[in-house]
């Protein structure tokens, strides 16, 4: 235990050093002084014109760097601004980051839950039946590699609702890892345990819940963890396509507004939320894993 604590402390120090080096490199790369003349170096003519239309004068502000990329200080201001009022709602195209995240997490949660209701029971049946496993394997192998976004046009045409289409895309991308891992986990349960259950004349339902499910739980959680990672990855791209609300739409909308700081902020938020989701499933997986 002491070794793990020491290793964790050292890893934290290394992570902190890497983060400081990253900020230093970022600051150095964007620290070139801005042009003080009539032309603003690092911005295209269209960007300069857009800033003037918005009532801003980038030349007089003295904040535009030669690279055109935001500095760490500008990012800090954006983070403080976004987090100081994350729930604001000023219309369809101007909502706080918390509202956008709530929409995205709601779609991911609903699509993921529907996938669980389909994939886990079906995976149990497939895992317990070698005949079904062989019969359904060609269909699974054909459907599994299809990009979830390839289903989006068909979903939009059939469902005719962008939010429901996004949920369907999450469902279709979450099904396959859970289905495959559940079937594998169930089929890999030790024969000795099943034979003992048969000897004790345990009913099929009790055997499924008391013998097979605990044994296959780590593998099932692995499939759920993979599915959640894919779902969070896909929802961002899906929301960029369909628009409306969500963290993906926020990224696309801020890019159209030429706000790189907000785009980078949203990228960091997407990464942090994805990490937290993965850590949650990792803890669940550890909780159900039996260590001899």
Q: Is residue 51 part of a domain?
A: no
Q: Which of 49, 58, 80, 175 is nearest to 120 (CA)?
A: 175
* Predicted local confidence at residue 71, as pLDDT: 86
Domain assignment of residue 184, yes or no:
yes
Is 207 within a domain?
Answer: yes
Residue 221 lies in a domain: yes
- pLDDT of res. 267: 93
Task: Categorize the per-residue pLDDT at 39 as very low, low, confident or very high, splitting at 50, 70 and 90.
Answer: very low
pLDDT (mean) for 39-66? 52
Report pLDDT for 4. Answer: 55
Q: What is the mean pLDDT of the segment spanning 269-284?
A: 93
Range of the domain at 134: 97-287
Closest by Cα among 19, 34, 36, 35 to 72: 19
Q: CATH number for the domain including 189?
A: 1.10.3720.10
The predicted pLDDT at position 41 comes to 47
Question: Is 246 inside a domain boundary?
Answer: yes
Please check whether residue 63 lies inside any domain of the structure.
no
Does residue 16 belong to any structural domain of this protein? no
pLDDT category, 54, cuts 50, 70, 90?
A: low
Whether the Cβ atoms of residue 204 and residue 253 lie closer than 8 Å to each other: no
pLDDT above 70: residue 168: yes
Q: Using the predicted structure, report yes or no on whether residue 86 has a pLDDT greater than 70.
A: yes
pLDDT in tens, 113-152: 999 999 999 999 998 888 988 999 899 999 888 888 888 8
Residue 193 belongs to some domain of the structure = yes
**C-alpha closest to that of 116 among 228, 2, 33, 245:** 228
- Is the pLDDT at 65 greater than 70, yes or no? no
Q: Could you tell me the end-to-end alpha-carbon distance of the chain, in angstroms, rounded to an integer?
A: 17
Query: Residue 231 is encoded by which pair of tokens?
Result: 């779902």
Instruction: Give residue 123's pLDDT.
Output: 92
**pLDDT(194) > 60:** yes
Domain count for the chain, please give it. 1
pTM over 0.85? The answer is no
The mean pLDDT of 193-216, rounded to a whole number, is 79
């Amino acid at each position: 235990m002491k070794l793990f604590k020491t290793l964790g402390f050292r890893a934290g120090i290394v992570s902190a050093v890497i983060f400081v080096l990253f900020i230093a490199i970022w600051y150095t790369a964007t620290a070139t002084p801005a042009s003080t003349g009539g032309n603003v170096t690092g911005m295209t003519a269209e960007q300069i014109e857009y800033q003037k239309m918005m009532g801003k004068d980038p030349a007089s502000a003295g904040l535009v760097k030669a690279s055109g990329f935001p500095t760490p200080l500008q990012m800090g201001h954006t983070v403080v601004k976004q987090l100081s009022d994350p729930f604001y709602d000023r219309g369809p195209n101007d909502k706080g980051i918390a509202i956008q995240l709530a929409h995205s997490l709601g779609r991911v949660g609903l699509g993921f839950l529907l996938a669980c209701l389909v994939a886990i029971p079906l995976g149990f049946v497939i895992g317990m039946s070698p005949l079904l496993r062989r019969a359904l394997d060609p269909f699974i192998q054909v459907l599994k590699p299809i990009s979830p976004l390839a289903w989006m046009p068909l979903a939009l045409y059939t469902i005719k609702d962008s939010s429901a289409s996004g949920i369907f895309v999450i469902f279709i991308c979450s099904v396959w890892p859970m289905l495959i891992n559940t079937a594998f986990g169930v089929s890999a349960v030790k024969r000795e345990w099943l034979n003992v259950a048969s000897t004790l004349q345990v009913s099929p339902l009790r055997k499924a819940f008391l013998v097979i499910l605990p044994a296959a739980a780590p593998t099932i959680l692995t499939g759920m963890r993979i599915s959640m990672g894919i779902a969070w990855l896909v929802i961002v791209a899906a929301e960029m396509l369909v628009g409306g609300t969500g963290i993906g739409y926020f990224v696309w909308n801020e890019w159209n507004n030429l706000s790189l700081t907000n785009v980078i902020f949203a990228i960091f938020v997407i990464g942090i939320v994805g990490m937290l989701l993965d850590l949650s499933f990792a803890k669940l997986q550890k909780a159900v894993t039996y260590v001899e």
